[in-house]
């Protein structure tokens, strides 16, 4: 029996993975509208455009009021315009964007991570409060529902709906407040967040005085050492959710206060 009363999950890269690389999905969607965009070109451009738009309109446009649909439309159009050197008219790019926005509203683009359902079932059987804390827009509810994962969660907190993004500790505090409505004995020290990114998941959880387990998708020792240099405790680093499920009942206490000083 594990000792956590509350366990929350990040989604992209932790609970769910893309069935195929996003650049491939973008390229295939574009081809449906007569647009030729190579996946390699899309991949080169995507991250820079994503980061730029996130700076200009944080939290998928929630902060500036443009809304998540407009935000994703702008991103897709910007990426495709650069990948194709503006060879097509704006209405065509808008059509591709609309198609992709709808496509990512269901679970067809995603695969459930190995070990996820076994871990979720185990947590549910042990009467653990289970939640989601994700930097995502409100489509996440439809995605989880279409994959039949919503049945495991007591609550889902998206950054867009909360108005706060990870790594802000405030989004973890919102999740804790929801858990307290179910179990008044929940505290940060008995709360665990599971994610895959130090800069959002680990920093945010530790800042809120929670525990945090990182899923690395790698058994490479160099990767583990790199995470440890960033302050992640070695016993909270896992290759995948299968390993985490096996070791969860044996995680030992740590001094959260000392960990929090690292950030």
Domain ranges of the chain: 6-17+110-260, 19-108
Query: Residue 257 pLDDT more than 50?
Result: no
CA distances from 208 to 98, 163, 229 (A): 37, 17, 21
pLDDT confidence tier of residue 90, bands split at 50, 70 and 90: very high
Between 229 and 135, the higher pLDDT residue: 135
- Residue 74: both structure tokens together: 């702008």
Pairwise CA distance, residues 9 & 153, whole Å = 10
Q: What is the pLDDT of residue 252?
A: 54
pLDDT tens column, 192-217: 999 999 999 999 999 999 999 999 98
Contact 27, 39 (CB under 8 A): yes
pLDDT tens column, 148-189: 999 999 999 999 999 999 999 999 999 999 999 999 999 999
Query: Residue 116 pLDDT more than 50?
Result: yes
- Residue 51: both structure tokens together: 């980061």
Q: Which CATH number fits domain 19-108: 3.30.530.20, 3.90.1150.10, 3.20.20.140, 1.10.150.720?
A: 1.10.150.720
Q: How many CB atoms lie within 10 A of CB 12?
A: 17
What is the second-level CATH architecture of the domain 6-17+110-260?
Answer: 3-Layer(aba) Sandwich (3.40)
């Amino acid at each position: 029996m594990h000792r956590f009363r509350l366990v929350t999950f990040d989604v992209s890269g932790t609970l769910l993975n893309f069935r195929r690389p996003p650049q491939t999905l973008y390229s295939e969607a574009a081809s449906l509208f007569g647009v030729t965009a190579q996946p390699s070109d899309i991949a080169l451009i995507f991250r820079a455009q994503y980061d730029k738009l996130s700076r200009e309109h944080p939290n998928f446009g929630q902060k500036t009021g443009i809304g998540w649909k407009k935000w994703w439309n702008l991103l897709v159009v910007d990426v495709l315009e650069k990948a194709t050197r503006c060879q097509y008219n704006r209405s065509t790019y808008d059509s591709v964007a609309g198609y992709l926005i709808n496509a990512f509203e269901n679970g067809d683009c995603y695969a459930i991570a190995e070990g996820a359902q076994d871990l979720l079932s185990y947590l549910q059987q042990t009467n653990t409060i289970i939640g989601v804390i994700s930097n995502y827009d409100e489509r996440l509810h439809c995605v989880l529902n279409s994959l039949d994962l919503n049945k495991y969660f007591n609550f889902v907190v998206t950054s867009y709906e909360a108005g706060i993004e990870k790594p802000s500790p405030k989004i973890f505090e919102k999740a804790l407040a929801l858990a307290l409505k179910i179990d008044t004995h929940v505290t940060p020290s008995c709360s665990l967040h599971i994610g895959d990114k130090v800069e959002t998941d680990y920093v945010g959880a530790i800042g809120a005085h929670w525990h945090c387990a990182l899923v690395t998708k790698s058994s490479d020792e160099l990767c583990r050492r790199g995470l440890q240099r960033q302050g992640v405790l070695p016993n909270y680093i896992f290759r995948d959710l299968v390993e985490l499920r096996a070791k969860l009942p044996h995680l030992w206490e740590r001094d959260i206060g000392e960990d929090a000083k690292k950030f």
